[in-house]
Amino acid sequence: MDSHTLAVNGGPAVRDRPWPRWPQAAPGAAKALEEVLESGRWAISGPYRGTESQERRFARAFADYHGVPHCVPAASGTASLMLALEACGVGAGDEVIVPALSWVASASTVLGVNAVPVFCDVDPDTLCLDPAAAEALVTGRTKAVVVVHLYSAVADLDALTALARRHGLPLIEDCAQAHGAEYRGRKVGTLGTAGTFSMQHSKVLTSGEGGAVITADAALARRVEHLRADGRVLAAHPPAPGAMELVETGELMGSNRCLSEFQAALLTEQLPELDGQNETRRRNAALLDRLLAEAGCRPQSTSPGTTRRTYYTYAAALPEDALGTLGSGPACRALTAELGFPVSPGYPPLPANRLYDPAGRPRFALDEEYRRRTAPDAAGLPVARESARRTATLHHAALLGDEGDMHDIAAAFTKVLRHSADLPG
């Protein structure tokens, strides 16, 4: 078959070279992990050994990076969101406005504190929470707004912080996909009441699993500390070696959602690499934006207040004539075959996501009213539905290469779009 035949149909692929791998270990990562291994302390719940914990070191470094006084590390991004919600006073039966376009944790974490996720449509350009749509959903039951900085965009934080102030609501920034992004010169996660992060394997700052909550509010940070360590907090002063550093205050019951010392040590080493990697991604994404726009795609944009963008997932809307009745799925499969790198459709609207199924877990069957209020309903979310139909995404590892890699991506898009009539269903 000639070079015009799609690889998914047996033709030659655009590319047969390897892509940058992810994760990429920082130079000091192996030594830091070995030090923890030999330290005799693998968790903050282990005995104090006379030296500062890795968890405290990372918390201080991550807080300093964001210019805030408080960071509480946690076991995952999911744990971080649940901790922030509960620390903000969200509980049984309360409503939390969340974007309809996001990973399932944006909804499942709300269920996890026995509250009700209220799905809000997104802005058609940024694909982040639409402030006007969110305002229309505020009721007397609303207790918080969660904004997700999605894919590679920063939400309109001017409008969303103003909305939160008008209604006296906490605004939680979910920054799981936006480590290092800035809005009007401030790091995301610092403009709302709290910022939450995921350090899961695929994230731009990773320790395999992990998370964190940052805030300028000392009382909120103390509540998060209690909630993540079974109602305990780290002592104000180091104890004697062999004693516990976690203090049982009796102030607030919690659960165990702590980060291990291995993960904290790894994150401390990875953090200095973040800005340089983000700059490489930004430079390559700018080129890719231009190339894909020439091919007829519409790359995701960010809000006007964004002063520094990060790329967790590069997202672009495919032209209508390449979609047919099946949406972006066939084109994404063809692009994957051309590049040897996964190209995936965007997230489905959360209420239509097969992973959102409260009825499948007995713990959420509180009563008939709660089951009714949390049942999936994707009606009234036209922008989220259209985005799910048209979007193609690439993981940020593809942006860690060079200009030649961006031209390969563009060549694959151009080939697939020119021969979209040949796409298998």
User: Which member of 31, 143, 187, 203 is catalytic?
Assistant: 203
DSSP string, 61-84: HHHHHHT-SEEEEES-HHHHHHHH
The H or E element containing residue 209 is: none
Bridge partners, 392 (sequence order): 316, 345
Told to judge if 203 belongs to the known catalytic residues of this protein, a careful annotator would answer: yes
* Number of residues in the chain: 425
Q: For 185, what's the count of Cα atoms within 13 Å in the CB-facing half-sphere?
A: 0
**344 φ/ψ angles, rounded to the nearest 5 degrees:** -125, 150
- Longest CA span, the chain: 74
Residue found by looking up tokens 């291994």 in the block: 37
Is there a contact between 183 and 191 (Cβ–Cβ < 8 Å)?
yes
Q: Tell me, what amino acid is at 318?
A: L
**Amino acid code (one letter) for 285:** A
Q: Using CA atoms, how far apart are residues 7 and 15, in angstroms rounded to an integer? A: 10
CA distance 146 to 83: 13
Catalytic center residues: 203
